[in-house]
Amino acid sequence: MTSHSSLNADLHCHSVVSDGTLTPEQLAERAHGNGVQLWALTDHDELGGQERARIAASLLGMDYVSGVEISVSWMGQTIHIVGLGIDATHAGILEGLRRTRDGRGNRAKMMAEQLSKVGIAGAYEGALHFAGNHDLISRTHFARFLVEQGVCRDTDHVFKNYLVEDKPGYVPHLWASLDDAVAWIKGAGGAAVIAHPGRYKLSAMQMDELYKHFKDIGGIAIEVITGSHSPNQYQTYGKIAQHYGFLASRGSDFHDPEESYIDLGTLPHLPEHLTPVWTLFH
């Protein structure tokens, strides 16, 4: 395996095991078809798809790195930490993720209750219908239900008008701690990566504190080229990676052929002056 920055690595996407709509096998086919050379499936708070993804990739002759995207609460915000190259059978991370998933069912019921107050009935059952894994009911499943019901024209619209702070259907939730998430990833032999740093509603000072603390506890990389960043942000977070001495990651954050506007393996390459996180995996 090569480790250069122009490798077509896609180290962030979701399957039906969390809030994607394709199976691990369908994702492997799609990634391979789009020229991906190194792939990771990173379902939210779940390792249930790892074995299938690894086998599917191997049958296609595509290199695979195990992955996960952990939901974390930090300074009152939700942030996402990707773990790459973990042992997906390690007891510590499996137990930690199980606990992280546990609150989702109750949260979903409270979300549905709120939605019913603005005249949207049956949202819990409706969202559950879209969830391939009933342990992992997410806002994405509610968003698909609201689109199906004609409440919004697409999921983008949902996340502007529902399910987010100060809008109907938003229920604050306490996820894993940053320290625990990084400890689980490291305990399972993996590399911890801050997912889509450009997406958080944190001040520059809070982001600085996040990078420093993350580094202190053994975090090693940030996503620079991601489907959640604009081209301007590729530059910004490339500089951040250099400034703090982080390795750089690349991943589409693909969820669904219709909803995701960036397909697997189609993002720009990592800039050459950055050190790719995949130098760790060969």
155 binds ligand AMP (CB under 6 A): yes
Stretch that binds ligand AMP, among 152-160, 177-185, 237-245, 266-274 (CB under 6 A): 152-160
Contacts of 111 (CB under 8 A, 6+ apart): 123, 124, 127, 139, 142, 163, 169, 170, 171
Stretch that binds ligand AMP, among 22-30, 151-159, 183-191, 238-246 (CB under 6 A): 151-159
170 binds ligand AMP (CB under 6 A): no
Task: Concatenate the DSSP letters of all residues of 37-70 into one string.
Answer: SEE----BT--TTHHHHHHHHHHHT-EE--EEEE
Contact partner, 63, from ligand AMP, Mn ion, none, Cβ < 5-8 Å per class: none
Distance CA 158, CA 143 (A): 6
Of 19, 84, 65, 63, nearest in space to 254 by CA: 19
19 binds ligand AMP (CB under 6 A): yes
Q: Which x/- pattern over 43-72 shows residues binding ligand AMP (rule: CB under 6 A)?
A: -x--------------------------x-
Toward Mn ion, which CB reaches closer, 54 or 196?
196
Query: What's the min distance (Å) between Cβ of 72 and Mn ion?
Result: 10
Which positions touch ligand AMP (CB under 6 A)? 19, 44, 71, 138-140, 155-156, 159, 255
